[in-house]
Amino acid sequence: MSRETSLITYYAQRAQVYERVYEKPERREQLDSLKDLVRVTFDGRTVMEVACGTGYWTAVAAETAVHVTAFDVNESVLALARAKGLDSRRVEFLLGDAYEPPAFGKRFDAALVAFWWSHMPRKRVRGFLGRLHAALRPTAIVLCLDNTFVPGDSTPITRTDEDGNTFQMRRLEDGREFEVLKNYPTEENLREAITPVADVAEVKWLRHYWMLRYRLRAR
């Protein structure tokens, strides 16, 4: 099983319990800060959300955005996202691959990438960003959110490959185990990835999360 297939299968099987990770009390204040950031960033904007999962962050973005088009490669998590009952006039869920976004027929003025960056092989980041930016208008805002590694709290790293990608062993409630790619970029990694296309970039580290927000250059 390839690492991409393993990742897709793992999240498909974990869909019903995926949002439990957001219920940890020690993370609540940090999550509230991230939610406020999402609301402010996407106020009045048309948003494309990559790898939306169960729609947890879609619901937050939709509080202030004009419209959110969210997609994911897993139909099982999309079913849960659609079941949230978000206003279908303002939120659309689609089946699609993060590396090959659907043909939208329009361009967006904002993008949300929540908890996906850490699952990309290092060699695929540049290609992913190129396709992401191609779907956006000049001067669009991009917001990325993801996990930091917290020793003693985060799932331990069990392997590092020749490209520097790190992996964790994840166990489902039924006992099955999956090796999941989980990278933890540095601020330097993030800035280096977006410097060629971004005019303004803001990076912030919380204890359990990091955020990257930037504006594309006018083309």
Give the pLDDT score at 158: 94
* H or E element, residue 193: helix 187-194
Cα 66–Cα 125–Cα 218 angle in degrees, nearest 5:
50
Q: Identify which of 128, 127, 123, 95 has the alpha carbon closest to the alpha carbon of residue 111.
A: 128
Report, as ranges of residue numbers, the positions in the chain whose pLDDT lies below 70. 1-18
pLDDT in tens, 114-131: 999 999 999 999 999 999
**Measured between alpha carbons, how far is 120 from 95 in angstroms, rounded to an integer?**
19
Give the pLDDT score at 172: 73
Give the pLDDT score at 70: 98
pLDDT in tens, 31-77: 999 999 999 999 999 999 999 999 999 999 999 999 999 999 999 89
**Measured between alpha carbons, how far is 129 from 118 in angstroms, rounded to an integer?**
14
How does strand 177-181 pair with strand 198-205?
unpaired
Give the pLDDT score at 17: 61
Give the pLDDT score at 200: 76
Let me know if 146 is exposed, middle or buried by CB neighbors in 10 A (0-12, 13-18, 19+).
buried
Total domains, the chain = 1
Give the pLDDT score at 178: 80
pTM: 0.92
State whether residue 109 is helix, strand or coil.
strand
Domain that holds residue 103: 3-216
How does strand 108-114 pair with strand 136-147?
parallel
**Measured between alpha carbons, how far is 161 from 91 in angstroms, rounded to an integer?**
39
Give the pLDDT score at 25: 87
State whether residue 117 is helix, strand or coil.
helix
Q: What CATH number is given to the structural domain containing 89?
A: 3.40.50.150
